[in-house]
Structure 1
Amino acid sequence: MTFLQMKRVVAGIPRRFKVVPALEEGVEPEFVPQLTSKMKGGLPVRIVER
């Protein structure tokens, strides 16, 4: 039951907020080749209310 509640909360986030990349101008994210796609140093984002 708790797992379903968590999924519902996570699914509701895109409805209320907008996720925007917070990269500096001229900076390109560097991908690290692995089994799952990752970015070197992570991908900084800003959460903006719609």
Structure 2
Amino acid sequence: MKLIRGVSQMPFLAQGSVVTLGNFDGVHLGHQAVLRQAAGQAQRLNLPLVVLI
């Protein structure tokens, strides 16, 4: 996991990524499902996963 502070630290986004944006106030079953689906899609597409909270 990388902690990135600012768009200038994200050159990999130019090549594509899978992004999930949400108010993840805790990782309950619903959030786990969203994150699992995003991670699976990123893996299938061979792209980095970005989680914005």
TM-score (norm 2): 0.30
Higher relative contact order (CA 8 A, sep 6+): 2
- Answer with 1 or 2: which has the greater Rg: 1
TM-score (norm 1): 0.32
More helix by share: 2
More strand by share: 1
